Structure 1
Amino acid sequence: MRLMAKNKFHDGPGPSQRQLRVGELIRRTLSDVLMRGDVHDPELNRMSITVGEVRTSPDLKIATAFVLPLGGKGAEEALVALRRNKGELRRMVGKACSLKYAPDLRFVLDETFDQMDETRRLLSQENVVRDTEDRDDPA
């Protein structure tokens, strides 16, 4: 029987406690830095950006931050500004989190709110409401 090599991108048991803890620490640090306007970029400091989640790679060398500007407007401009200031943000995170290696930061648009809106829309459709009401009725 041939054993398959374990793929690091395989959907396994999920992130470890350490990954979750470090991701939350990085999320809080990024949120604080962006809220205080510590970055030397006036364009970025004018934006109000929410850091919804940070996921780290198993070796903690890559941290993917899911971000969204307040109100959802100017998302692409926010991503460009964050990516432009990635080095400075990385230094601040490394200093604040006292990790052996400051992780490479990657920024992606947080689509959680869009997914929640879509779920609400689907659940409010007439046929779905009718089907769920039928299940609740013990007739």
Structure 2
Amino acid sequence: MLRHALAEMLARSEIHDDVLSSSVITVAEVRMTPDLKLATAYIMPLGGGDAAPVIAALEKHKKYIRSTLAKAVNLKYAPDVRFRADEGFDEAMKIERLLNSPQVRRDVEKDDE
């Protein structure tokens, strides 16, 4: 619910910032604490670029983002939002490289025989 609202806000360029306007940003996941007072949004610029400037821009506009999300989502409290780089894609690439390594291929081929 928060992920969709945040992704929609970014897709519509509702936040007026040069860094955010020039980047297509993917909101991979939003994790909430059990008391629903803190949301951690995992984001990544499309194409896997450097997430640091995007996170800095989002942090700069955190107050606006929080108030806009509060209006979009019906929660008792507007959660504080933290932004982190999504490292899931990097982890998937590491696993892919590992699975395609000659040592692993050799072991898999032995098991197939």
TM-score, normalised with respect to structure 1: 0.77
Corresponding residue number in structure 2 for 1:129 = 105
Q: Percent identity?
A: 45
Secondary structure of the residue aligned to 1:58 is: coil
Stretch of structure 1 that moved more, 60-69 or 32-41: 32-41
Deviation of 1:136 after TM superposition, in Å, equals 2.3
Corresponding residue number in structure 2 for 1:29 = 5
Letter in 2 for 1:132: V
Corresponding residue number in structure 2 for 1:52 = 28
Letter in 2 for 1:111: E
Secondary structure of the residue aligned to 1:53 is: strand
Deviation of 1:127 after TM superposition, in Å, equals 1.2
Which residues of 2 match residues 14-93 of structure 1 at below 5 A? 25-93=1-69
Write the deviation string for residues 73-111 of structure 1: whole angstroms up to 9, x where unpaired: 231110100000111111111110011111100000001
Gaps of 5+ in 2: none
2:82 equivalent to 1:119: no
**For the residues of structure 1 that align with 2:97 and 2:44, how far apart are their CA atoms?**
21
Letter in 2 for 1:67: I
Deviation of 1:36 after TM superposition, in Å, equals 0.2
Q: CA RMSD in A?
A: 1.1
Q: Point out the structure with max Rg over C-alpha.
A: 1
Corresponding residue number in structure 2 for 1:18 = none
**For the residues of structure 2 that align with 1:68 and 1:40, how far apart are their CA atoms?**
18
Letter in 1 for 2:57: A
Q: How many residues align?
A: 113
Gaps of 5+ in 1: 1-24
**For the residues of structure 2 that align with 1:60 and 1:136, how far apart are their CA atoms?**
49
Letter in 1 for 2:108: T
